Amino acid sequence: MVTEVAQHTAQGPLAQEFVQFAVEVGALRFGEFRTKAGRLSPYFFNAGLFDDGERLGRLAQFYARRILDSGIAFDMLFGPAYKGIPLGAAVAVELARQGRNVPFAYNRKEAKDHGEGGSLVGAPLQGRVLIIDDVISAGTAVRESIALIRAAGAVPHGVALALDRQEKATENGADVDYSAVQYVRSRLGLQVVTIARLADLLHYLGQDGAAREHRQRVQAYRDRYGVEEDGPSSAR
């Protein structure tokens, strides 16, 4: 069981900038959406909607700023198929622009049986690997990435995410008292860096007049499915 101290405060300006940006471009939407766990969520985040060069570039800036500010140690990036591929590539470019040039690799869903073959593309996996993804729902992609990274002789060290939904994971169709992010930290042993969390979204909804109408429904969802948290998004 994961034991954590409740701290439901917002993280700061970077998280608020990101939430506002995600709402403005439509990557963060409000309404009624069914999650992978079968819940009806009042909001939905889809990183695939950062769908032009300017949006993807700015998203990469948020990732890079959070990663560098966190102080997490890493030697290269890994983007799990499919959304992690453009995310990882864009973050690698932005990190290089900010003076931190690191190798980047990704995987195919199906191994290639011609040419160079295999399921891995890009730089050889080695050293401490930071996985880049959008959100974690069940941790499946992370576990698959860990297996690939370890099989190549490298060390899966951390995960960088755009949004932590801070809600209970499910096992065998039942809610558990920890989130997918907490599972990755405590059970899989990886550090996790997130640009923003549900707490940051709630703070934004309380401050923005146009979006304030959604706050009550999001808070009710948080009250029903939320988990206890142990602090901000920095790696730990």
Q: Give phi and psi for 148, each to the nearest 5.
A: -65, -45
Omega before residue 82 within 30° of 0, cis:
yes
In angstroms, how far is CA 61 from the centroid of its own chain?
A: 14
DSSP code at position 138: S
Q: Please, what's the b/e burial string for 109-139 (b: 16 or more CB within 10 A of its CB; e: otherwise)?
A: eeeeeeeeeeebebbebeebbbbbbbbbbeb
Query: Annotated catalytic residue: which of 112, 168, 203, 214?
Result: 112
| SS3 (DSSP) at 153 | coil
Q: Which residue has the tokens 């073959």?
A: 117
Tokens of 49: 């909607």
Residue 216: other Cβ atoms inside 10 A: 11
Query: Annotated catalytic residue: which of 36, 83, 109, 114?
Result: 114
Q: Transcribe 210-229 into DSSP letters.
A: TTGGGHHHHHHHHHHHB---
Given 3-state DSSP classes, what are the helix, strand and coil percentages for the chain, each rounded to the nearest 5?
Answer: 40, 30, 35
Distance CA 168, CA 134 (A): 18
Tokens of 71: 């102080």
| 36 belongs to the catalytic site | no
| 112 belongs to the catalytic site | yes
> Which amino acids are annotated catalytic?
112, 114
